[in-house]
Amino acid sequence: MIEAGHFAAFLALGAALAQTVFGLRGDRRWAGMAAVTGFGLMAFSFLTLVHAFAVSDFSLKLVASNSHTLKPMLYKIAGTWGNHEGSMALWALVTFAFGAAAAALMKTGRERFEARALGVQGFLAAGAMGYLLFASSPYLRLDPAPFQGAGLNPLLQDPALSFHPPMLYLGYVGYSFVFALAAAGMMEGRIDRVWAKEARRWSLAAFVPLTFGIALGSYWAYYELGWGGWWFWDPVENASLMPWLIGAALLHSVIVTEKRENFSAWTALLAVLAFLFSIMGAFLVRSGVLTSVHAFAVDPERGMVLLFGLMVYGVLALGLFVWRGPVLKGAKPWLVTSREGALMANNIVLIVAALTVLLGTLFPLMAEAAGRTMSVGEPYFRLTFVPILAILLILLPVAQSWAWGKADLKQWSRWAIAGAALVAVFAALGVGVWNISLGAAFGLALGVWLIGGALWELRRRAVTLKRVFRVSPRVWGMTLAHMGIGLFIIGAVIETTGRYETTVALSEGGSGQAAGWTLTLDDVGSIEGPNWYADKAVLTAVKGGVKTVLEPMKRYYPAARMPTTETAIYKTGTGDLYAALGEQRVVDGQARWVFRVYFNPLIDFVYFGVLLIGLGGALCMVKVKR
């Protein structure tokens, strides 16, 4: 089967090249057939890899290096993409999938435009296949085959991490097709309402899974790594955040192009940037230049191939924009005090925020190249990224109520008074009652401001309360997404400023205090799993009339010779009581187990807020028959 899959991959490369040629020539029918054929071939090829992992075929080098006979089936299958070669095979598959979906679903009435978009997507698929087959092949054999495999990285043996990469790739690669649409539009010199309507659908098709993928990665890091937090400004986290920010800017810009046929060149540029930031993320994660717990560090040769590919794509994409961007129509005059002006301000702030994250991510690499060692951590991002984003969020409820063309500024004073009163109330409560900093009080006020603004806009568009549930899915989607941002802000502020953290050393039968809870260590015993063994602690936690049992573990995977921390989390309704088991130490002449204990208030607001953002984006994709 592997040889058949390998051969199918070469045929898929041929189909991608055919899709490129037919598409760029303007032959919609044959380009579409090539796209569907290429997807079918690559899907078969990828399934042969999945089958090899499922049956533990250690004659395949990829399986021998990343699987083990004792692994649960879910993680055997996830091992297909839990490595460099397999992840690039998944990348190529998703690239073909978007081309095939576009061939089936695009109906703009412009066959030449659609053909060219498919042609550009075929070119991108051919590039991915060329790298996969000639620089990073997952089809290499071992002779003789080993009797046992090395196993998948234990940190990746988790349900969230099994689905996290596919969701991210749907987002990353989704922007490749948005770029294909932009390239086809620039070739035609037409980035207009028809183009924007199509681009908005595909932008959402990338944005929504990218949102969920980032959330899955964040939640995995929260409960798997034992660090107690939900975002660490890890370089790999930043690699997915940057295209998300650019994608958010693109979604708002394409609205202007769809409604007013304006911002044509700017929207095309954002489509190019979203694509480039996505493939730059792939380079950073897979080139070995970044150090992270979930980076695919590979040898420098393949890193250089990826860098060359990034440069080629970047030069071609930006070159096309420089060549064709100036001829695009749609540069109509617009006022700063209009919805167009507000959305352009939104775009600029999001771009600056993304560039700030980029600088913080790449600066250590630039310093290292200059012979210096330097790290950029959370303080940098708090001082730069957070204030930049706060500016955008303050103006969001006001700007979304503005009219196209020219806004009515008479209500400015009402919004200003409402905002100032809200900040004053939260500042007074924060200092006088909650005993929190002014910055935290402002953050809470900002979250409430966003939720209230989203509900006010829904009420305004519905005209009457009876018609609230009759407004379009797009309006509901916008409302949910903006409310999600507000909930996220509230959760992030409270969790970050109110987090309690301590270390408790307990002997068996001993007790200690943490966050108002009394923790008693009942037992520490050894248990065994399918491909691991562990020390498992049993903690009884009591507070008032509430009693619960926490069972944190420290696992060890013999095949990978690597330990992992399995945290125990109890949700109280107002936050998470979170415990991680450490090492056994001698304290005051007595053997004690060390625990890191946290109380993370309202942490679920962070994830529920992101869920609402993703659901809001998905709702905006719903078509309404008129």
Residues in the chain: 626
Tens-place pLDDT, residues 242-273: 999 999 999 999 999 998 888 999 999 999 99
**pLDDT value for 307:** 78
Tens-place pLDDT, residues 536-587: 999 999 998 899 999 999 999 887 788 888 999 999 999 999 999 998 888 7
DSSP class of residue 463 equals: S
**pLDDT value for 624:** 63
Question: Could you give the C-alpha distances from 458 to 249, 343, 401, 414, 587, in angstroms and in order?
Answer: 22, 18, 10, 18, 60
Residues of the chain above pLDDT 90, percent: 60
Q: With contact defined as beta carbons under 8 Å apart, do 101 and 38 qualify?
A: no
CATH number of 1-157: 1.20.120
Sign of CA dihedral 401, 404, 407, 408: negative
**pLDDT value for 625:** 59
As given in the structure block, the two tokens for residue 46 are 């990828």
Q: Is there a common fold for 1-157 and 500-605?
A: no
Indicate the pLDDT class of residue 480, thresholds 50, 70 and 90. Answer: very high
| Rounded average pLDDT over 124-148 | 93
Domain ranges of the chain: 1-157, 165-396, 397-499, 500-605
**What average pLDDT does the chain have?**
89
> Above 80 in pLDDT, residue 359?
yes
CATH number of 500-605: 2.60.98
Q: How far is residue 264's CA from residue 267's CA, in Å, rounded to a whole number? A: 5
Indicate the pLDDT class of residue 334, thresholds 50, 70 and 90. Answer: confident
Burial of 575: CB neighbours in 10 Å, binned 0-12, 13-18, 19+ = buried
**pLDDT value for 487:** 97
> Above 70 in pLDDT, residue 287?
no
| Rounded average pLDDT over 48-53 | 96
Tens-place pLDDT, residues 414-462: 788 888 899 899 888 887 777 888 888 999 999 999 999 999 989 888 8
Residues of the chain above pLDDT 70, percent: 96
**pLDDT value for 221:** 87
Of 17-31, 130-144, 189-203, 366-380, minimum mean pLDDT range: 366-380
Q: Which residue has the higher pLDDT, 276 or 325?
A: 276
Tens-place pLDDT, residues 4-47: 999 999 999 999 999 999 999 999 999 999 999 999 999 999 99
* SS3 of residue 594 by DSSP: strand
| Rounded average pLDDT over 162-187 | 92
> Above 90 in pLDDT, residue 612?
yes
Q: Which residue has the higher pLDDT, 301 or 216?
A: 216
* Residue of 176, 163, 143 whose CA lies nearest to 217: 163
Tens-place pLDDT, residues 483-534: 999 999 999 999 999 999 999 999 999 999 998 999 999 999 999 988 889 9
Q: Find the angle CA(333)-CA(336)-CA(340) to the nearest 5 degrees.
A: 70
* Residue of 141, 165, 135 whose CA lies nearest to 153: 165
